[in-house]
Structure 1
Amino acid sequence: MGRVLDHGIYRTSVHGRENIPAQGPVVFAANHLSYLDGPVMVGAASRYMHVMVRHDMFTGLLGWVLHTSGQIPVNRTGDRAALQHAKGVLDRGDCVGILPEGTRGTGDAANMNGGVAWLALNSGAAVVPVAILGTRRGNEHRDTIPRPRRHLHVVFGEPLKIAREPGVSGRVSMDRATEMIRLRLAGHIEAATAATGQDLPADDDLPSKHKGQ
């Protein structure tokens, strides 16, 4: 389905696929603009991944598709079981996809939850930053589904290995790892927008006092 979206419905340019490790566990960490980001990322990657998807999407026909294709339901308010499920995928040498911003926004990775760092630290998986561009742009609403034939970009960055820091608590180690990954992803997104010429969208849903910041 991801490949149909990428190359049948939309025109997707894929960059940096050579950065994806050919084997071993990988966490793909992508920015989040649109409902399409997960499947577009799956279709662009050279390895199959199990994406962590909001649990309330697992209903009806879509829920059946998500379940049978091995996607992982996650409750964004805190879901240890989902993280353990994802760790099991990584422990067998497979790949997990995650949108660590947690919700659709400008996609600049200004904020990030700690799930990626927890998975990397507890599985030894490489983290591949992914910039997804064009699934939403300009002032389009967060619920916008782009028209067919739009040009999308998926840019895979160089993998990052995370290790526990000696002499610091687990909490501090994870906080530092989360910030390290966030900075790498944010820098990768900035470089991808410059290289492709595709800007990030405006944020249509922040309180007015935060707009423009």
Structure 2
Amino acid sequence: MKAVDADGGRPLRSVAAAPPRWKTWWSRPVGRVLDHVVYRTSVAGRENIPADGPVIFAANHLSFLDGPVMVGAASRYMHVIVAHEMFKGFLGWVLAASGQIPVDRAGDRRALQLAKEVLDRGGCVGILPEGTRGTGDAAHVNGGVAWLALNSGAAVVPVAILGTRVGREPRNTIPRPRRHLHVVFGEPLSIVRESGVSGRVSMDRATEKIQLRLAGHIHAAKAATGQDLPADDHPPSKHKGHQP
């Protein structure tokens, strides 16, 4: 039996295999138009992105724009893991056609396996490990990035995205054109499985290491750019901390 969306009984979008790399060839140019035509995006730290080999881009999550803005700012093509509920209508067609990977945030090992296939062939995956839009301070991240890094050997590049939501703007805000955005890529982090400890302990330690690095990178990016994170009076999402 197929899983269904809780808000209307629609089947969740599923993907039979990892999306081919060629599907990303037009998503990055579209992202660059978004970054530099629709908005004014300053990009820093591209030199930190490995020129080849598998890479996981782990970014904070403020708004709907974070994924596309990151895609346009990066020097590598990437497949972004996106909440399955976004794969509806025209937007859903665009996401599928550009090679993004749908995920059920309540728990979806299949999405992680597909992302690992992308990494195993030397590709790049983008993930927003906070799991839902919020203040973007990475105070909590889920274990998906750690699982992917431990099982693929991919480098983890922390990404600070600032300006896609500011002040007390609601979580579903789409900023007006020409707003100044910032994307800062940090130094890559290597995650290795520790010998003599259980898989669960290795996962927990890797998740903590990634969370601390991402949170510290975001703090440094705030200081460097002068752009603060938004306020957020909403209660934590029920999805926070779940896979991926």
Report the equivalent of 1:211.
none
| Distance in 1, Cα, partners of 2:68 & 2:51 | 20
| Distance in 1, Cα, partners of 2:175 & 2:97 | 26
CA RMSD of aligned residues (A): 0.7
Report the equivalent of 1:91.
120
* Structure 1 residue runs without a partner (length 5+): 208-213
| Distance in 2, Cα, partners of 1:65 & 1:48 | 16
Report the Cα offset of residue 146 of structure 1: 0.5
For residues 1-213 of structure 1, the aligned pairs below 5 Å read: 1-206=30-235
Calculate the TM-score normalised by the size of structure 2: 0.84
Paired residue secondary structure (2:157)? strand
| Distance in 2, Cα, partners of 1:80 & 1:202 | 32
Report the Cα offset of residue 204 of structure 1: 3.0
Report the Cα offset of residue 59 of structure 1: 1.3
| Distance in 2, Cα, partners of 1:143 & 1:57 | 13
| 1:2-29 Cα shifts (integer Å, max 9, x gaps) | 1111011000000000000000000000
| 1:42-74 Cα shifts (integer Å, max 9, x gaps) | 000000110000001111111111111100000
| 1:55-106 Cα shifts (integer Å, max 9, x gaps) | 0111111111111110000000000000000000000000000000000000
Q: Which runs of 4+ in 1 moved over 3 A?
A: none
| Distance in 2, Cα, partners of 1:5 & 1:152 | 11
| Distance in 1, Cα, partners of 2:105 & 2:235 | 19
Report the Cα offset of residue 115 of structure 1: 0.2
| 1:150-205 Cα shifts (integer Å, max 9, x gaps) | 00000000000000011000000000000000000000000000000000000131
Are 1:141 and 1:204, in contact at CA under 8 Å, matched by a contact in 2?
Answer: no
| 1:121-153 Cα shifts (integer Å, max 9, x gaps) | 000000000000000011111111100000000
Calculate the TM-score normalised by the size of structure 1: 0.96
| Paired amino acid for 1:71 | Q
Paired residue secondary structure (1:179)? helix
| Paired amino acid for 1:76 | R
Report the equivalent of 1:210.
none
Are 1:142 and 1:204, in contact at CA under 8 Å, matched by a contact in 2?
Answer: no
Are 1:140 and 1:204, in contact at CA under 8 Å, matched by a contact in 2?
Answer: no
Are 1:52 and 1:96, in contact at CA under 8 Å, matched by a contact in 2?
Answer: yes
| Distance in 1, Cα, partners of 2:79 & 2:204 | 24
Identity %: 83
| Paired amino acid for 1:168 | V
| Distance in 1, Cα, partners of 2:136 & 2:82 | 17
| Distance in 1, Cα, partners of 2:215 & 2:85 | 28
